[in-house]
Amino acid sequence: MNVKRAVENQIEIFNMLKQTKAKDRLSHAYLFYGEQGTGKKEMAYALACIMYCKNGGCLECDVCKTILDGNHMNVDYIGILNNKTAISKEQVLDLQDEFSKTSLVEGTRIYIVDGIDTATQAAQNSLLKFIEEPINQTPTIGIFLANEISNVVNTIRSRCILEHFSSISKEKEIDILEEEGLEELDAILLAIITNNPTEAIELAKDESKKRSHKTT
C-alpha cells in the first residue's frame, strides 16, 4: 500500500477531506467507489490519518505511521480474504461485535469495509443499522469501498457521502512504473495491459521471477 502516491493521484479528494475535517464537518459514512487500483483503500487510511494526526494528516508522524501500519486501536478494517471473492456475513458480524465492546481508547472509531459491493444484500443491510446507530454512543466513521457502485444497496448509498475515484492516465501509470524501477518499454507494455499500477507491478514481479528461473 503506497498511501503517499495514492494521495498524490487523488489529491482533490484528499484536500477536500482535510478541509472538511478542519471545519469539523466530516460525515459518519463515506462510500469511495471506482475501479480497482484507483487508491480507495489508501485514501481510507489517509482519512484515518486526517482524523487523528496532530498535523492534520501528514502521513509521516508516529500516529500516521501507526495507522498506516494497521496498528491503530481506533481503526478497523475488513476486506476480501485471500482465497475468497467476497466479504462474508461473518466478517461483517465480527466487525460489529468488535465495535460492541467498549473501546479502550477514546475518540472516534473508524471502520473500513473494503469490497462492500461484494457482500450479500443481507450483509450490507446488517451494516446499515450499524451506520445509523453507533454502538455505545461512540462516534464512528464508516468508510465503504466499492469497485462497482451499482452493487451497493440503495439504503447504504443514500446514507453515505459518495466520492468517485477516477482512473489514472496511462502517462501517469507509466511514470509510476518507472519510479518503481521498471524499464520504459516494460512500463509502457504493462500500462497497456492494465490500468492498475499495483497489478502491473505484481505482473512485472511475476515475470522477473519466471526469467530468473530460466537463467538458473
Nearest residue relative to Zn ion (C-beta): 53
User: Closest separation between CB of residue 3 and Zn ion, Å?
Assistant: 11
Please say which residue, 55 or 136, places its beta carbon nearer to Zn ion. Answer: 55
Q: Which of 43, 44, 51, 53 binds Zn ion (CB under 5 A)?
A: 53
- Amino acid in position 141: I
Residues with Cβ within 8 Å of 172's Cβ and at least 6 positions away in sequence, in order, are 9
User: Closest separation between CB of residue 16 and Zn ion, Å?
Assistant: 18
| C-beta separation of 30 from 142 below 8 A | yes
Hey, how many other C-beta atoms are within 10 angstroms of the C-beta on 43? 25
User: Closest separation between CB of residue 62 and Zn ion, Å?
Assistant: 8
User: Closest separation between CB of residue 51 and Zn ion, Å?
Assistant: 10
168 binds Zn ion (CB under 5 A): no
| Choices 27-35, 60-68, 140-148, 176-184; region in contact with Zn ion by CB under 5 A | 60-68
48 binds Zn ion (CB under 5 A): no
User: 156: which 3 cell numbers?
Assistant: 447504504
How many CA within 13 A on the CB side of residue 74? 18
29 binds Zn ion (CB under 5 A): no
Nearest C-alpha neighbor of 166 from the set 45, 10, 47, 51: 10
Please say which residue, 3 or 187, places its beta carbon nearer to Zn ion. Answer: 3
119 binds Zn ion (CB under 5 A): no
User: 97: which 3 cell numbers?
Assistant: 461485535
3 binds Zn ion (CB under 5 A): no
User: Closest separation between CB of residue 72 and Zn ion, Å?
Assistant: 11
How far is 165 from 149, CA to CA, in rounded Å? 11
Q: Give the position of cell 459518495.
A: 162
Under the rule (CB under 5 A), what is the footprint of Zn ion?
A: 53, 55, 58, 61, 64
